[in-house]
């Protein structure tokens, strides 16, 4: 397989802050699925949750610090450069404009996010632009709403390397190391003045401390719509 055709992984999220529950599974996907890179794309304005407690630029900086030492990891600021809410369908379209139509794109999602897919803007178009790679997230069931189940069934892959054969359109459920870490947990610990050490990279934690981030009381996530 020529390197130019290895799939590009796209990992979107709020990353408020990025933690090992994002990083370790992403590294496993980079290696197991033979991706050329994983692009971490923090959203500017999240569509499905409260406004984060730190700015998008600060979240991006934490993503940069977390990814800088790992070959194949890229911090991508495209959602910060686009006005308005951050819709993944627009992000994938902008990546397609950049890399063309032949390189496979793999949109990486945790199973909790995947279960909510039908609430995403123009969600059916996501598989026109990319494959979907779903990582099992601890505590999240993969019982899907019937509309999503019907969408998934004909697109489901059992061989991960088939992701290399087409540029988009398939769905892969990929087991990853189960790390029951959430950004909510990290924010809660920091707001209480407790240690978040070993849940996220030391460089990220140092930056958080040096800039006194996440000191204010935590706002819990709303119920997804």
Footprint of ligand ATP (CB under 6 A): 13-16, 21-22, 25, 109-110, 112-113, 135, 137, 179, 181-184, 221
Instruction: Tell me how far, at minimum, the Cβ of 2 lies from ligand ATP, in Å.
Output: 30
Alpha-carbon distances, residue 71 vs 65, 87, 221 (angstroms) = 13, 27, 33
Instruction: Tell me how far, at minimum, the Cβ of 78 lies from ligand ATP, in Å.
Output: 16
Instruction: Tell me how far, at minimum, the Cβ of 87 lies from ligand ATP, in Å.
Output: 15
Q: Which is nearer to ligand ATP, 1 or 192 (CB)?
A: 192
Write the DSSP string, 65-123: HHHTTSTTEEE--TTTTS-SS--HHHHHHHHHHHH-SSS-EEEEEEHHHHHTGGGSTTG
Give the 3-state secondary structure of residue 13.
Answer: strand
The dihedral built from the CA positions of residue 43, 45, 49 and 52, taken in this order, carries a sign that is positive
Instruction: Tell me how far, at minimum, the Cβ of 182 lies from ligand ATP, in Å.
Output: 4
Q: Which is nearer to ligand ATP, 30 or 183 (CB)?
A: 183
Q: Which is nearer to ligand ATP, 51 or 206 (CB)?
A: 51
Q: What tokens appear for 126 in the block?
A: 């996501």
Instruction: Tell me how far, at minimum, the Cβ of 219 lies from ligand ATP, in Å.
Output: 10
Q: Which is nearer to ligand ATP, 2 or 33 (CB)?
A: 33
Helices (H), the chain: 20-32, 56-67, 88-99, 111-115, 126-129, 146-152, 183-191, 202-210
Q: Which is nearer to ligand ATP, 29 or 168 (CB)?
A: 29
């Amino acid at each position: 397989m020529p390197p130019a055709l290895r799939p590009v992984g796209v990992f979107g999220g709020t990353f408020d802050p990025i933690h090992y529950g994002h990083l370790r599974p992403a590294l496993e996907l980079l290696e197991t699925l033979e991706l050329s890179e994983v692009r971490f794309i923090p959203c500017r304005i999240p569509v499905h949750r409260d406004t984060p407690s730190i700015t998008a630029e600060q979240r991006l900086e934490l993503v940069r610090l977390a990814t800088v030492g790992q070959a194949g990891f890229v911090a991508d600021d495209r959602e910060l450069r686009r006005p308005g809410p951050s819709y993944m369908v627009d992000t994938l379209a902008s990546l397609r404009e950049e890399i063309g139509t032949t390189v496979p794109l793999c949109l990486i999602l945790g199973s909790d996010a995947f279960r909510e897919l039908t609430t995403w803007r123009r969600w059916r178009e996501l598989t026109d632009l990319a494959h979907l790679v779903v990582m099992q997230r601890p505590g999240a069931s993969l019982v899907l709403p019937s509309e999503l189940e019907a969408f998934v069934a004909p697109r489901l892959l059992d061989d991960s390397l088939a992701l290399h054969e087409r540029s988009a359109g398939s769905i892969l459920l990929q087991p990853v190391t189960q790390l029951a870490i959430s950004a909510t947990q990290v924010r809660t610990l920091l707001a209480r003045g407790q240690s978040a050490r070993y849940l996220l990279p030391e460089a990220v934690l140092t930056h958080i401390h040096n800039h006194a981030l996440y000191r204010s009381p935590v706002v819990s996530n709303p119920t997804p719509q």
